[in-house]
């Protein structure tokens, strides 16, 4: 291969690396702080820590295991970890969604349009 082809390949790889690095950084911030803005069904990261001080029976302080279970249940950590690769790959779309302030997408197709006309 000649030097020009190697330079082009290195440049393309650097662009892909920069895109993925920016996407991963955005995904971490998005998953921790901004996901409730896009999907209101997902609870806020910081609002869930109030469950740390509430025991199941209310008379005693919660154990460490009860605290961990409360955080895992409240934060849906599995869901957040699961969406990191997708957010990393599609981070420009999620960034636009955040900037525009949109929540759930509203599907418009012929069926929904016709059904909306016939609703009383």
Q: Cα(101)–Cα(36) distance, rounded to whole angstroms?
A: 11
| Cβ-proximal residues to 47 (8 Å cutoff; 6+ apart), any chain | none
CA distance between the termini of the chain: 70
More confident residue, 13 or 44: 13
Per-residue pLDDT tens over the stretch 57-100? 556 666 777 767 666 666 677 788 889 999 999 999 999 988 88
Per-residue pLDDT tens over the stretch 35-44? 888 777 776 6
Residue found under tokens 């599609």: 90
Q: Would you say how long the chain is, in residues?
A: 120
HEC letters along 26-94? HHHHHHHHHHHHHCCCCCCCCHHHHHHHCCCCCCCCCCHHHHHHHHHHHHCHHHHHHHHHHHHHCHHHH
Does the pLDDT at position 111 exceed 70? yes
Q: What is the pTM of this model?
A: 0.65
């Amino acid at each position: 291969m000649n030097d020009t082809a190697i330079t082009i390949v290195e440049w393309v790889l650097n662009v892909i690396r920069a895109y993925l690095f920016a996407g991963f950084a955005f995904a971490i911030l998005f998953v921790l702080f901004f996901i409730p803005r896009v999907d209101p069904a997902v609870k806020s990261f910081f609002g869930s820590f109030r469950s740390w001080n509430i025991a199941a029976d209310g008379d005693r302080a919660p154990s460490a295991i009860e605290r961990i279970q409360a955080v895992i249940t409240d934060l849906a950590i599995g869901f957040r970890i699961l969406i990191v690769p997708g957010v990393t790959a599609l981070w420009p779309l999620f960034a636009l969604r955040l900037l525009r302030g949109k929540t759930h997408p509203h599907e418009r197709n012929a069926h929904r349009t016709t059904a909306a006309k016939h609703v009383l």
